[in-house]
Amino acid sequence: MDICIIGSGLSGLSAAYALLKKSDKFNITILEKKDVIGGCLSSSRAGRGYIEDFYHHCFSGDTELFELSKELGIYDSLEWLSGSTGYYVNGKIYPLTTPVEILKYPHLSFIDKFRLGRFVLGAKKYDAAEYEDVGAVEFAIEKCGKSAYKSFFEPLLRGKFGDAKDKVSAAWLISRVAIRSDRKAGGERLGYFRDGYNSLIESLAAKLKERGCAINTGTPVTALKFNGETKKWSVNGVEYDAVISTIDPRKLTEIGGPKIIDGDIHFQGAACMSIGLKREVTDGIYWVNMRDDAPYAAVIGHTNFVPRERYGEDIVYLASYFCKKPDGNLEERMLEDFLKRFNLGRDEINWYHLTIEESAGPIYTKGYRRLIPSAGREDLKGFYCAGMFSEENYPERSMEGSIKAGYTAAERLINDYRE
């Protein structure tokens, strides 16, 4: 049976893996538009190793990710590291990891800190799905008060969703806070593979190739249609018995594919600059959120999380999200601002590169859940989908969610074609 998978991100690779694990009757071709595999989890060479183009870490509940890494033989290289946090306000970095640091933070009143602490510690008790139709902004104000919202949540929501922040569902906020409340004195407990997430993508791809799967990079799917006569799906002119699409549903219709979402779903884009530096700039902190106005929402000190010695230099990310396409000179604006703000000379930068992804994740607006497409449909024989828009990635997309979404699509296909 010939199967085409559109996209070589975690959803696509996981779907192929699940299919080939079950049977050798599947002849799978993965088509990837970019020159590299991995999608949002792609990596580039940095110093002595690889670094993700977009910062990544995993969480203690990511059971499918752990299982998969065991099957690929890389689980032993999973390390649990501490991720400290801080806030950049009025030109100064304030550490906000330990209770003492939080108490000393001058930009929140004692009562605001108390309300925030109570909300963060209690976030796991809320059932996110029940708050699907409540706005994140209203919810944060109700639980923490207006001033805590203004000085703490608003900059985070603005940085992540821009103008769309008022439409975001409280379900997203709750799950986001709950997942990030696994804290110890030194910071949040976050997982990272010793050789980076590149090792996950590469070992998964190697396993697929070993089992006969073709992965064709630099091959965008531009034409997809169902041939009523042969009852097959034509992808760039080649016919397949089934297709699994892992791409943004809006882009799927642009290439001729079916409309799988009945409503208005928005994706946000991400622009992330990684920079190799001669010195450390975030006072030893991993994740610094910007409250001051800057062309990036956070400065992520990667080598304050993963030991610097692995790369032989300091590495930071400048992270930003966008809803409308960023203007052409974003790279220069980000770099200029960063150099000025952190008193760095150009000669202190070893290298930098900007990665832009227009479909970096759905915006979880109120009512989003009702729009989620199912992995397969009776009326679309041979067509399946999995990705950041899937049920498994609600209400926040993740590596774990994309692996599960890939598995679900594969399972559905296997069930439909069971002999």
Interacting residues with ligand FAD (CB under 6 A): 6-12, 31-34, 39-41, 54-58, 220-221, 246-247, 251, 255, 270, 272, 357, 359-361, 387-388, 397-402
Closest approach, Cβ 136 to ligand FAD, in A, equals 19
The torsion angles phi and psi of 338, rounded to 5 degrees, stand at -65, -45
Closest approach, Cβ 145 to ligand FAD, in A, equals 29
Half-sphere exposure of 290 (CA within 13 A, CB side): 23
Closest approach, Cβ 236 to ligand FAD, in A, equals 9
Q: Closer CB to ligand FAD, residue 151 or residue 268?
A: 268
Measured between alpha carbons, how far apart are the two ends of the chain, in Å? 12
Closest approach, Cβ 76 to ligand FAD, in A, equals 20
Q: Closer CB to ligand FAD, residue 151 or residue 303?
A: 303
Q: Closer CB to ligand FAD, residue 152 or residue 287?
A: 287
C-beta atoms surrounding 298 within 10 Å: 25
> Which stretches within 169-322 are classed as H helix?
170-179, 198-210, 249-254
Closest approach, Cβ 249 to ligand FAD, in A, equals 11
User: If we measure between CA atoms, which residue out of 61, 80, 145, 154 comes closest to residue 110?
Assistant: 145
Q: Closer CB to ligand FAD, residue 11 or residue 97?
A: 11
Closest approach, Cβ 371 to ligand FAD, in A, equals 17
Q: Closer CB to ligand FAD, residue 221 or residue 335?
A: 221
> Can you tell me whether residue 79 is helix, strand or coil?
strand
∠ Cα 285 181 364 (to 5°): 100
Q: Closer CB to ligand FAD, residue 12 or residue 249?
A: 12
User: Does residue 200 contact residue 73 with C-beta atoms inside 8 Å?
Assistant: no
Within 106-186, strands assigned E span 183-184
Closest approach, Cβ 161 to ligand FAD, in A, equals 13
Closest approach, Cβ 59 to ligand FAD, in A, equals 7
Q: How far is 335 from 340, CA to CA, in rounded Å?
A: 9
Q: Closer CB to ligand FAD, residue 148 or residue 224?
A: 224
How are beta strands 2-6 and 27-31 bridged, if at all? parallel
Residues 36-59 as b/e (b if ≥16 CB within 10 A, e otherwise) read: ebbbbbbbeebbebbbbbbbbbbb
Closest approach, Cβ 214 to ligand FAD, in A, equals 13
Closest approach, Cβ 403 to ligand FAD, in A, equals 9
Q: Closer CB to ligand FAD, residue 9 or residue 276?
A: 9
- DSSP bridge pairs for 214: 29
Q: Closer CB to ligand FAD, residue 144 or residue 243?
A: 243
Q: How far is 85 from 289, CA to CA, in rounded Å?
A: 8
Q: How far is 163 from 138, CA to CA, in rounded Å?
A: 15
User: Does residue 187 contact residue 304 with C-beta atoms inside 8 Å?
Assistant: no
Q: How far is 248 from 274, CA to CA, in rounded Å?
A: 25
Q: How far is CA 198 from CA 10, 12, 204, 230, in A?
A: 11, 16, 10, 39
∠ Cα 60 64 65 (to 5°): 65
Q: Closer CB to ligand FAD, residue 108 or residue 205?
A: 205
